Amino acid sequence: MSTTIKRVLIGLVIGFVIMQFFQIDKTQPPSDPANDFITMLSPPDDVAAILKRSCYDCHSYKTKYPWYTSIAPLSWWIGHHIEEGREHLNFSEWGKLTERRKKHKLEECWEEVEEGKMPLDSYLWVHGEAKLSEEQASLLIDWFKEQENAF
């Protein structure tokens, strides 16, 4: 192996080690459980289970961080996804939304599921259990529509 290749490899290893010192923030922000989507809307058990399994990791303060979220730069990518997910819709803060915003978010929920955009394919790569069957997707879509129409 040439000296140049050895130096490049050593540089890459050192860079990778240094990256590990820059971890994502995994603290769960405080929130009032009374504002939680499931608490407020009381979905049937099967719908609640799907929401927790397929949505809450990125769209709530109940994120579960597996071991690989401690390895940069993968952790940075995952952390960014979680930030974006919560920014777009945070089920832990549902009670703080206006009625109009809730109705709009419910519409977005069923549209995203219906179009197969949620859960994200990139999330499903390592969370196969979050994949929605046609029956589960249909159940969620119908329930979201029902809730939207209640407004």
Q: What tokens appear for 72 in the block?
A: 């940069």
Q: What per-residue confidence (pLDDT) applies to 151?
A: 80
* Mean pLDDT value across the chain: 94
- Span 23-42, mean pLDDT? 95
Instruction: Phi first, then psi: give them for residue 147, nearest 5 degrees.
Output: -70, -40
Cβ(54)–Cβ(130) below 8 Å? yes
pTM: 0.88
pLDDT in tens, 37-51: 999 999 999 999 999
**Is the pLDDT score of 140 beyond 80?**
yes
5: its two tokens: 């290749």
Name the burial class of residue 147, with classes exposed (0-12), middle (13-18) and buried (19+) by CB atoms within 10 angstroms of its CB: buried
pLDDT tens by residue, 73-127 = 999 999 999 999 999 999 999 999 999 999 999 999 999 999 999 999 999 998 8
